Amino acid sequence: MSCGAAFTPRLCPRPHALPHLHVMWTTFLYHARVVLLCAGFLYAFAWPIHVSFARSWLARGLTPRWFFVTSVTALHVLLYWTCNALTCWWHRTGAFARYRIGRAARQEPGRQLLLETLKEAVLGQLIVEPAALYFLVWPVYQRCGAPAIDAPLPPLGCTLASFALAYVSHDWLFYWSHRASHSSRFYKIVHKQHHAYTGSIGFAAEFASPLEQMISMKVPSISGVVLTGAHPAIFLVWLSYRLCQTYEAHSGYCFYGSWLHSIGLTNSESAAFHDFHHTGNRGNFGFGPPAYLDHCFGTMDGWLALGGIKGYLAAQRERCKKQK
């Protein structure tokens, strides 16, 4: 079923599409849930920590620019290594085995690939990213009207709007840049490295060529909060959500049907939807659920043919059993 270099992957005959109203309503509910969760986390937990840290930083005579670079880098490093080490530990110990997406033996990453991934992560997170934040992102962020690092939060409506705009801008920029990277012209030089993992793990989320790192990962993730000059605390909370979402989507674990899923505290649909993208490499260019851009532009035929999330998880379990 591999079809990596395909801008518009289609099956013939094509499967029945999901009902439009269902897709749009589910999309609205999911986006609203994420916006409210981010805002709740900001006010209840992140804001007191942020304002204390920012005031202490300024009292020591340190610059806002370095506060921005340090806080973004530290957050990225912390979440990358803790979230992904945790899921690797689950795999080694068999914890949450019932929620691990089935894997054939050939889909398990080798030691050399994992070492290469970790070396690139260290280089990118400790050298390349801080330099980009300092020389590129911070000046653009300031030109777009970013407030002082210790400024009060904007009204609740503006906060919610910032998270909503960040989410929608990520949807569109990620979908089209990711889809373009699967075209025959760009796949080998831009995106093929990322698909070295046919059975993804969390550490693989950022294993990509430098060009892809920029156009499909960094820019879509932060463009909404940078270009609207969102408050730095909003920037950091949004970045936390985006990192956790992409690590879960690449983790190889799907908590669909769990109590956490039932109360909306996992990205289970994204995990299964994007896992299919890695194992099948045919369509599913956005994130679920229910991937409204893939629905609107007809790039999820393989996923629909399998029966969506339930069909895909069942197919992977069956594939795993056949390998034993």
What does pLDDT average to over the chain? 94
In this prediction, residue 1 carries a pLDDT of: 42
Within-domain flag for 139:
yes
pLDDT in tens, 262-308: 888 999 999 999 999 999 899 999 987 668 999 999 999 999 999 99
Q: In Å, what is the CA distance from 7 to each residue of 3, 17, 51? A: 10, 19, 45
Domain, as residue range, for 84:
21-323
Residue 71 has pLDDT above 60, yes or no: yes
Within-domain flag for 10:
no
Q: How many domains does the chain have?
A: 1
Residue 207's pLDDT band, with cuts at 50, 70 and 90, is: very high
Within-domain flag for 147:
yes
Question: What stretches of the chain show up as alpha helix (H) in DSSP?
Answer: 20-41, 47-59, 64-93, 111-123, 129-132, 138-143, 156-181, 210-212, 219-227, 232-250, 259-262, 268-280, 292-297, 301-306, 308-323
pTM of the model: 0.96
Q: Which two tokens stand for residue 145?
A: 């009207």
Residue 323's pLDDT band, with cuts at 50, 70 and 90, is: low
In this prediction, residue 262 carries a pLDDT of: 87
Within-domain flag for 4:
no
